[in-house]
Amino acid sequence: MKKILIVVGTRPNYIKVTQFKKVAEHQFSGQFDIKIVHTGQHFDKSMADVFFQQLDIWPDYFLNISQASPNTQMGEIMIRLEKVITKEFQPDIILVPGDVNSTLAAALTAYKLGIPLGHLESGLRSFDRSMPEEVNRILVDEISDFYFVTEQSGIDNLLKEGKPDAKIHFVGNTMIDTLVAFEKPIREQQVMTDNGLEKDNFILMTIHRPATVDNREGLENLVTLFNRIPKNQNLVFPMHPRTLKNIDKFGLKNEFDAIENLKILKPLDYFSFQNLIHNCKMVLTDSGGIQEETTFKQKACLTLRPNTERPSTLEIGSNTLLNFDQDEILKQIERIISGTYKKGEIPKYWDGKATERILEVISEL
């Protein structure tokens, strides 16, 4: 029996590993012993229980690291993860998803302990090293033994960087596995009714990048954009508490309150938020994963960033990269409303079976 340790630290990355134990039990009976470590890099106790209950999977180990600087957090993760590995569970392979600090810390721990390392979402590149996530992605891929790729760009990037073709595995997107597995409960959520929303009659927004919401200029740009969007379009904005705090800090509460068609919601659980994606007219975002979720749902998405590490969502899917050009944003919104915006297609292997492909690769190692 092969022992697999999966390390996650944030909610978006936890969503990428929900199906490993289930697929192992139902399709690879007796072949794998899988344990999940949650580092606590992002851990809100008030949301944790509902999150784990919805996804029907609980971590086997909590590292409970402190909320501190990235260096301090990574140091704590490495120390505590090493104790789990040496005293609790000695894995044959460690899997790390994504590009957060927990991903890099776990990868370094695996490397120093001589344990084979597999990187989920390997090879994604924004080519912008001012982003901490980009540096994390590059460093993790430099010490990985197996590269599990979600899209063609990942293969191309890894080959250009000199990674061996035999170690690169095009498996698809495990985040889509979770969407497929929980499609029924997602559609049954009451978030639309609870907030007086109608299908295809609102724009869903997820804006959280520090460059936009942690300074006065970025927040003022949001106010200007919202005021320029046609008033017959309802704006639904699940807002991070930090953003609300910054709105107060910079004295902009009255400006946001004056936007009549803006509805600010508290942060939502996974099922409720996916329900809103399913029912909205379009999405405005600066998130990475939402570009993939909207592409899978063939839902129009406008990404307010200068770059993306997920080019398949642009080239194949329903996503458009716009930086923060307000005139172009409004032009694309009009195209979506008028029905002339691209529909997009679903990329190869985004079919709910990526987890199965990964375990097939590991079973044959």
Identified catalytic residue from 26, 38, 119, 208: 208
Give residue 323's pLDDT.
87
Q: What would the two tokens of residue 90 be?
A: 């000695």
The string over 154-184, giving b where at least 16 C-beta atoms fall within 10 Å of a residue's C-beta and e elsewhere, is bbebbeeeebeeeebbbbbbbbbbbbebbee
- Name the residue among 364, 298, 354 with its Cα closest to residue 120: 354
Residue 41: pLDDT band with limits 50, 70, 90: confident
Proportion of the chain above pLDDT 90, given as a percent: 90
Give residue 47's pLDDT.
60
Q: Which residues contact 355 (CB under 8 A, 6 or more apart)?
A: 19, 20, 23, 174, 177
Check pLDDT > 70 for residue 46. no
Rg (CA), the chain: 21
CATH number for region 2-173+350-363: 3.40.50.2000
Check pLDDT > 60 for residue 231. yes
Model pTM score: 0.95
Give residue 50's pLDDT.
78
DSSP annotation of 233? S
Q: DSSP string spanning 75-109?
A: HHHHHHHHHIIIII---SEEEEESSSHHHHHHHHH
Q: DSSP string spanning 188-225?
A: T--HHHHTT--TTSEEEEE---HHHHSSHHHHHHHHHH
How many CA within 13 A on the CB side of residue 259? 23
Give residue 363's pLDDT.
97
Q: What would the two tokens of residue 167 be?
A: 């170690």
d(CA 83, CA 43): 21
Q: With contact defined as beta carbons under 8 Å apart, do 202 and 234 qualify?
A: yes
Check pLDDT > 90 for residue 253. yes
119 given a catalytic annotation: no
End-to-end Cα spacing for the chain:
12
pLDDT per residue over 168-206, tens digit each? Answer: 999 999 999 999 999 999 999 999 999 999 999 999 999
pLDDT per residue over 262-291, tens digit each? Answer: 999 998 999 999 999 999 999 999 988 999
The string over 195-212, giving b where at least 16 C-beta atoms fall within 10 Å of a residue's C-beta and e elsewhere, is eebeeeebbbbbbbeeeb
Phi-psi region for residue 274, left (φ > 0), alpha (ψ -120 to 50) or beta?
Answer: alpha
d(CA 364, CA 276): 40
Domain boundaries, given as residue ranges, for the chain: 2-173+350-363, 184-338
The answer as to CATH 3.40.50.2000 being correct for domain 184-338 is yes
